[in-house]
Amino acid sequence: MILDGKIAIITGASRGIGRAIALTLAKRGATVVINYASNAEAAEETVGQVRDNGGRALVFRANVANPTEAGALINTTLDEYGSVDILVNNAGITRDNFIVRMNDDDWDQVIGVNLKGAFNCTKAAARAMIRGRWGRIINISSVVALAGNTGQANYCAAKAGLIGLTKAMAKELGPRNITVNAVAPGFITTEMTSGLPEELKEKMLAQIPLKRFGKAGEVAELVAFLTSGAAGYISGQTIAVDGGMTCI
């Protein structure tokens, strides 16, 4: 699982799962490009943590839903390092509401960042990977793509779309030695989940056979494996990190 010499872009890497992935890949030897959309301070904190551990990192602001900005993220990485070997499409937002109350903007923003953002970055990065005849693309989906969730029609649709994108790209890019996989986290302890009411947390835990929330680092370890040479024959798959929740 050594990634020495590999260049990895992680979108939405300023905090949470994205930050954990960036730190884990950097510890394995990859140079990481930390993408963020709005929280510059958190992104710089991630870069600082990477460098404090002896890793190499670059920070770049881009709204990946915008094709021009997504392209600039990839091109800047190529200009700086000469290649893009690993792309982790992690950037995501939520705009929860019941379908009858959900407005067009809430739908469009969630689809734009979570799904179109992955399309934009993959389209730009794949060209570089094809030239190098090697690549690893990981799409961060969600267990709600597999099971659905009340009040998250936009988010579920976007995350399910990522699974379809993963399968199509695995077939298209496989002949060029590029693997594409999806990771579907369940309930993971992050800043977002830490503020949930205790009653809601208890209901969530009741759905999880392991009876605990996952850790961002546990998701990151799977991503690290899938980006490594050890996972060279795994492509087109969706792997849940959910404590067994979707097996019942």
Report the C-alpha gap between 65 and 109 in whole angstroms: 8
- Are 236 and 180 contacting, i.e. CB atoms less than 8 angstroms apart? yes
CA distances from 135 to 6, 19, 83, 129, 217 (A): 10, 21, 10, 5, 23
Instruction: Return the amino acid letter for 224.
Output: A
CA distances from 160 to 42, 95, 108, 165, 181 (A): 28, 16, 15, 9, 13
Residue 80 tokens, joined: 């700086």
Instruction: Return the amino acid letter for 179.
Output: T
Within a 10 A sphere around the Cβ of 43, how many other Cβ atoms? 25
Pick from 190, 166, 194, 198: which is nearest to 179 by CA? 166
Catalytic residue check, 36: no
- Burial level of 108, CB count in 10 A (0-12/13-18/19+)? middle
Instruction: Return the amino acid letter for 16.
Output: G
Report the C-alpha gap between 45 and 73 in whole angstroms: 19
Catalytic option among 36, 81, 155, 233: 155
Active-site positions read 155
